[in-house]
């Protein structure tokens, strides 16, 4: 099981370091891999605070070029130099607000993987697409843009459940995960309003390999509760 905390645009360097120190002192369950994804300015502090542990630090994005005139972007070699373990790509907020497409997500993922980073690539449908019965078509399109890699993980995050408090039922999550795995043989995380109260039920699905946690990863104890809920039975 993999539990990844996506901090989005929260936690400056000092706050991130304090959280990471608390995380490294906590008793994490066996059989559960844990990563955190701070904003760019907090990556170095997080890497330093978690040095010598098995807890990985991920970036929230990565450009497809190694260097160049791409103002506001960060490359895989820059992340590796900081000691960053991996990166998220294609989060629904990147697709919604910053013009990410299936093509750019695939290019970002390929570049990060080629440079030795692990990647969590996000896919998922909007509410309109789900209500129109297009969930599986959307997943086929988004997953079809990616290529298999042993360091690639996919996060299924229904867009209608991101930051809304709405959550897919365990059956809905498991069906979507089965679709993803039929297209690409990689681990699949569930993301979308994962909380301590629903984590165990969501993570119990046979096709669910972990969770990409947003808001509930910002406070230590709720995040630890989710990590404990992922303990293999």
Question: Which residues lie closer than 8 Å to 46 by C-beta, 6 or more apart?
Answer: 16, 17, 20, 36, 38, 57
Question: Which residues lie closer than 8 Å to 175 by C-beta, 6 or more apart?
Answer: none
- Assigned CATH for 2-229: 3.20.20.70
Task: Determine what percent of the chain is predicted with pLDDT higher than 90.
Answer: 88
For the chain, give the number of residues.
233
Tell me, yes or no, if 91 is annotated catalytic. yes
CA pair distance 212, 165, nearest whole angstrom? 15
Which residue is associated with the tokens 């290019």?
107
Task: For residues 88-103, give the mean pLDDT.
Answer: 96
Structure confidence at residue 168 (pLDDT): 82
Task: From the candidates 118, 129, 157, 177, give the one annotated as an active-site residue.
Answer: 157
Residue-wise pLDDT for 22-74, tens only, equals 999 999 999 999 999 999 999 999 999 999 999 999 999 999 999 999 999 99
Q: Which two tokens stand for residue 197?
A: 């109260």
What 3-state class would DSSP assign to 99? coil
Task: For residues 81-109, give the mean pLDDT.
Answer: 97
233 has a pLDDT exceeding 70: no
Task: For residues 67-91, give the mean pLDDT.
Answer: 98
CA pair distance 96, 104, nearest whole angstrom? 13
Question: Which residues lie closer than 8 Å to 34 by C-beta, 6 or more apart?
Answer: 2, 3, 4, 5, 23, 28, 54, 55, 56, 227
Task: From the candidates 63, 91, 118, 177, give the one annotated as an active-site residue.
Answer: 91
Helix (H) or strand (E) holding 136: helix 135-144
What 3-state class would DSSP assign to 151? coil
How do the domains of the chain map onto residue ranges?
2-229
Q: Which two tokens stand for residue 198?
A: 């629903």
Phi-psi region of 229 (alpha: psi -120 to 50; beta: other; left: phi over 0): alpha
Structure confidence at residue 231 (pLDDT): 84
Residue-wise pLDDT for 142-184, tens only, equals 999 999 999 999 999 998 877 777 778 889 899 999 999 999 9
> Cβ(187)–Cβ(153) under 8 Å?
yes
């Amino acid at each position: 099981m993999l539990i990844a905390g996506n901090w989005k645009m929260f936690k400056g360097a000092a706050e991130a370091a304090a959280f990471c120190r608390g995380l490294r002192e906590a008793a994490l369950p066996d059989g559960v891999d844990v990563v955190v994804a701070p904003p760019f300015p907090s990556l170095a502090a997080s890497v330093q605070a978690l040095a010598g542990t098995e807890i990985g630090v991920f970036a929230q994005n990565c450009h497809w070029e190694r260097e160049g005139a791409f103002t506001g972007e960060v490359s895989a070699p820059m992340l590796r130099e900081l000691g960053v373990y991996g990166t998220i790509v294609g989060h629904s907020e990147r697709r919604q607000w910053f013009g990410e497409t299936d093509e750019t997500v695939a290019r970002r993922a390929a570049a990060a993987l080629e440079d030795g980073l692990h990647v969590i690539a996000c896919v998922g449908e909007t509410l309109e697409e789900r209500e129109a019965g297009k969930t599986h078509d959307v997943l086929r399109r988004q997953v079809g843009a990616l290529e298999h890699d042993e360091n690639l993980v996919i996060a299924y995050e229904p867009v209608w459940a991101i930051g809304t408090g709405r959550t897919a039922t365990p059956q809905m999550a498991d069906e979507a995960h089965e679709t993803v795995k039929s297209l690409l043989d990689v681990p699949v995380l569930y993301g979308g309003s994962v909380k301590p109260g629903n984590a165990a039920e969501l993570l119990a699905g046979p096709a669910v390999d972990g969770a990409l946690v947003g808001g509930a990863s910002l406070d230590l104890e709720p995040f630890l509760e989710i990590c404990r809920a992922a303990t293999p039975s």
